Amino acid sequence: MRFKVGDKIKFLDEVGGGTVISVIDHRMVKVETDDGFEMPVMTSNLILDYRSGQHDNAQSKASHPAALITETVVPEKPSITEINPWGKVKDAPGVYLAFEPHEQQWILTGNLDVILLNNTGYDLLFSLFLLQDDEMRGVDFSSIPAHSKMVLDNISREEIANWTSGAIQLLFHADEPKKIYMPAHIDIDIKANRFFKEGSYVQSSMLRGKSLLVNLISMQALTVASDQEAVRKYNSEMAAQQSVVKKEKPFISKYQTNVGEAIVDLHIAELVDNIAGMSSHDMFELQMNMFTKALKSAMENEYEKITFIHGVGNGVLKSAIIKALGDYEGLENKMASIIKFGVGAIDIIIKTKSN
């Protein structure tokens, strides 16, 4: 059962009840008890206090003639809650977009909460645009307090395609900031097939359940404008960008997951839309070319770690990758996290002069 702010509830496992004062996520709400205490409670341990509703309705009907009774619809407040009231956040500071399945035991089925997470010490103002029916549309704009998250929407699997392409603009504010940051513009480009793979849903310290987590931007990637010189430099850079061809982003940037880190999925389905007419050798060559291109780009741009998902299979691709690493200096490899990737991925540590 989904509860909303203002609902009167009763506890299932103890005497008493209270009022829902905020929605943490679809499994937990914050309740103010009848004694005046506030605490987070699992929704599975609550039921609506229908007696309270019936009592209120009876009083209302008794004091107003039936012909004069009108229903006032109160718009529901955005679901904004603290990112992690139950523990320490270990994820890197930044702004994230998460798709959290309601059914955590069956994560490839059922609805998903679309959540914008402000894992920074700044209040976040955002404007969200999505590509829908071949048109870019402004679908939401609001603000999120520091270290908080907002449920933007509750979508079905059929609505996923509406959330794969778009853009978001961010503005960071604090009353006494140590740094002032320039506004950020981030393009949203998520492959739709990621939503239908169990491995895409990972555990995070920012949410209680597994989610498909997209790192929109890290704090380290933001442009600092803490004095007038930085502002003048930013303005001149913006003017220069308008007069010259925009510099192409590094190839590895589209696979970046954190500062200095990237994950590249070498499964053939991630590289081409249609394998019709391709031989096994053609597929292998395509995978190795992607490996080489991504690794070189990561090294040129001073990344610290790149993870290649090679799958289990017969081990041919993994063996070829390990053999190819012998042609490079300053690299180490190890099995990637089994929790995140199973046994089908390899971490490559890139050693630079700085580390």
Nearest Cα neighbor of 266 from 236, 239, 291 is 291
pLDDT at 74: 44
**What band does 72 get if pLDDT is binned at 50, 70 and 90?**
very low
Average the pLDDT over 82-90 and give the result.
Answer: 77
Residues in the chain: 355
Domain end residue (candidates: 46, 68, 90): 68
**What band does 30 get if pLDDT is binned at 50, 70 and 90?**
confident
> How far is 188 from 81, CA to CA, in rounded Å?
24
Average the pLDDT over 95-110 and give the result.
Answer: 94
pLDDT at 52: 61
- CATH no. for residue 120? 2.60.40.1600
pLDDT at 314: 80
pLDDT at 266: 92
Q: Tell the burial category of 305 from Cβ atoms under 10 Å away from its Cβ (0-12, 13-18, 19+).
A: middle
pLDDT at 6: 85
pLDDT at 232: 67
Do 97 and 214 belong together in one domain?
Answer: yes
Average the pLDDT over 255-278 and give the result.
Answer: 91
DSSP E strands: which ranges in the chain? Answer: 8-11, 17-25, 28-33, 38-42, 46-48, 79-82, 94-101, 112-119, 123-132, 135-144, 148-155, 165-173, 184-189, 212-218, 256-258, 261-265, 305-309, 331-335, 345-350
Do 93 and 236 belong together in one domain?
Answer: yes
Helices 316-325 & 280-300 angle (0-180, nearest 10): 40
Parent domain of 268: 248-355
Give domain status of residue 305, yes or no: yes
For the stretch 306-328, pLDDT in tens is: 999 998 878 899 999 999 998 99
pLDDT at 353: 54
Do 57 and 84 belong together in one domain?
Answer: no
The neighbour count for residue 152, using CB atoms within 10 Å, is 20
What is the CA angle 246-264-181, rounded to 5?
45
pLDDT at 27: 73
**What band does 140 get if pLDDT is binned at 50, 70 and 90?**
very high
Do 225 and 173 belong together in one domain?
Answer: yes
For the stretch 153-185, pLDDT in tens is: 999 999 999 999 999 999 999 998 888 899 999
Confirm if 113 and 226 have CB atoms less than 8 A apart: no
Give domain status of residue 203, yes or no: yes
Do 157 and 18 belong together in one domain?
Answer: no
Tokens of 291: 């490996």
Give domain status of residue 2, yes or no: no
Tokens of 14: 């103890």
Comparing 64 with 169, which gets the higher pLDDT? Answer: 169
> How far is 69 from 265, CA to CA, in rounded Å?
60
pLDDT at 97: 97
DSSP E strands: which ranges in 222-328? Answer: 256-258, 261-265, 305-309
Q: What is the mean pLDDT of the chain?
A: 85
Average the pLDDT over 75-97 and give the result.
Answer: 78
Q: What is the DSSP letter of 249?
A: P
Total domains present in the chain: 3
Give domain status of residue 3, yes or no: no
Comparing 198 with 44, which gets the higher pLDDT? Answer: 198
For the stretch 221-264, pLDDT in tens is: 999 886 555 666 777 777 776 665 556 789 999 999 999 999 99
Average the pLDDT over 5-14 and give the result.
Answer: 84
Do 212 and 343 belong together in one domain?
Answer: no
Give domain status of residue 270, yes or no: yes
User: How far is residue 119 CA from its own chain's centroid?
Assistant: 11
